[in-house]
Amino acid sequence: MTFSNDYHLWITILLFLYLPSELLAFKCYICNSYTDAQCMGNDLEKFKMECKGAAVGCRKIHFFVKYTDQDNTEERIERQCAKTSQGYGCKQVFGTNGKRFKSLNCECGSDVCNTGTTPRLSCCFLMLSTLASLLFHLKSD
């Protein structure tokens, strides 16, 4: 087999192995602790749902809100499908508008990965890493 034929064969094999899982819809935990307090906990199975539309991952937003005229701080969690990517990982957001708030926004790229604050790698990332490694190896031969 020539280098060109080998190259095409490996790409075809990799695409058949990885693409079917990437074409399936993401499943994420979808809930809001404002409407269901169980969203704050760890028993999330009832919130597992298939994302509608073209989701790029799952997201968990952990809010802390302190109203200026109150002493207590409200805490909420929202779990959702991510329709646009802010980049995998977690980011803190701060703001004021008659209240002070802080949120920790975590985004991940695999099914039902929006349980905690540790992002998981997506199959797409693993496929691209494998493909890059394979191409590098083939070119060095």
Cβ atoms within 10 Å of 88's Cβ, excluding its own: 19
Q: Which CB contacts under 8 angstroms, 24+ apart, belong to 2-11? A: 3/138, 3/141, 6/138, 7/135, 7/138, 10/134, 10/138, 11/131
Which domains are present in the chain? 3-140 (2.10.60.10)
Q: What is the pLDDT of residue 97?
A: 74
Q: What is the pLDDT of residue 120?
A: 44
pLDDT higher than 60, residue 86: yes
Task: Give Cα 64 to chain centroid, integer Å.
Answer: 21
- Could you tell me the pTM of the whole model? 0.64
pLDDT higher than 60, residue 10: yes
List pLDDT tens digits, range 56-74.
899 999 999 888 777 888 8
Q: What is the pLDDT of residue 14?
A: 60
Q: Which residues pair with 30 in a beta bridge?
A: none
